[in-house]
Amino acid sequence: MAGIEPNGRGLRIRPAAVPDRYGLQLPLIRLSVTPGLLEGEYRAHNDGALELTLAAPRGAVVVAAELAGVAQPVPAGAGETVMPLRFRQGDRIPFLLRWR
């Protein structure tokens, strides 16, 4: 349901369309999903880097993305966006994805 999948470069998060509202609290990540919006936080347990891929539910189009409060580029008509994430142990890095 939460749609969190590790891949060779980092994490991919694609929320399920149903239910349309849910939250998840894990030691590494926090997610809150409401219609058209995914908000979350990456909680670093070590120093490092990864790619954070945020994807809209199937059939939806991404309209905005943010990482640490900074708008990220989103290709027109894209269903997902990939953001490089660098962190130090103890960092809490917020992220956001909006879709329609």
Domain residues for the domain of 92 are 4-99
Is residue 39 a contact partner of residue 29, using CB atoms and an 8 Å limit? no
The pLDDT tens digits of the residues spanning 57-75 come to 999 999 999 999 999 999 9
Q: Please state, as a whole number, how many other Cβ atoms lie within 10 Å of the Cβ of residue 69.
A: 9
User: What pLDDT score does 1 carry?
Assistant: 57
pTM: 0.93
Q: How many domains does the chain have?
A: 1
Q: How far apart are CA 92 and CA 74, in angstroms?
A: 23
**Residue 14 maps to which CATH number?**
2.60.40
Q: How far apart are CA 18 and CA 20, in angstroms?
A: 5
Average pLDDT of span 20-35: 94
